[in-house]
Amino acid sequence: MGVSKFTRSISLQRIAEKRANRKYVNLTILDSYYLYSDGIHHWYEVILADRSHPALAEWSKERIHRAPSPPKVAVEKVAETR
């Protein structure tokens, strides 16, 4: 009657994001995704952005003024109409 497996309270992806945020304090995390894993290590790519950079400020203003994207239709509904 022992413990058979330990589970993490947070995922490896969140751990990678925290490590990147700790190293690059002035940057903010935009997104992260899984890249690769071998038998021992797991690699995630964390996308960071500098909020004070002028190009990013212009980009965020453009996104506000764009029309919202149309809602995605479920695959089942498209198949029913055919």
CA atoms of 44 and 33, how far apart (whole Å): 6
User: Which helix H or strand E contains 31, and what residues bound it?
Assistant: strand 28-37
- What pLDDT sits at residue 56? 76
**For 17-59, what is each residue's pLDDT tens digit?**
999 999 999 898 888 999 999 989 999 999 998 888 887 777 6
- Measured CA to CA, the distance from residue 59 to residue 1 in angstroms comes to 57
Place of tokens 């690059």: 24
pLDDT confidence tier of residue 60, bands split at 50, 70 and 90: low
- Quickly count: other Cβ atoms within 10 Å of residue 67's Cβ: 5
**Any alpha helices (H) in the chain, and if so which ranges?**
12-23, 54-65, 75-81
- pLDDT number for residue 35: 93
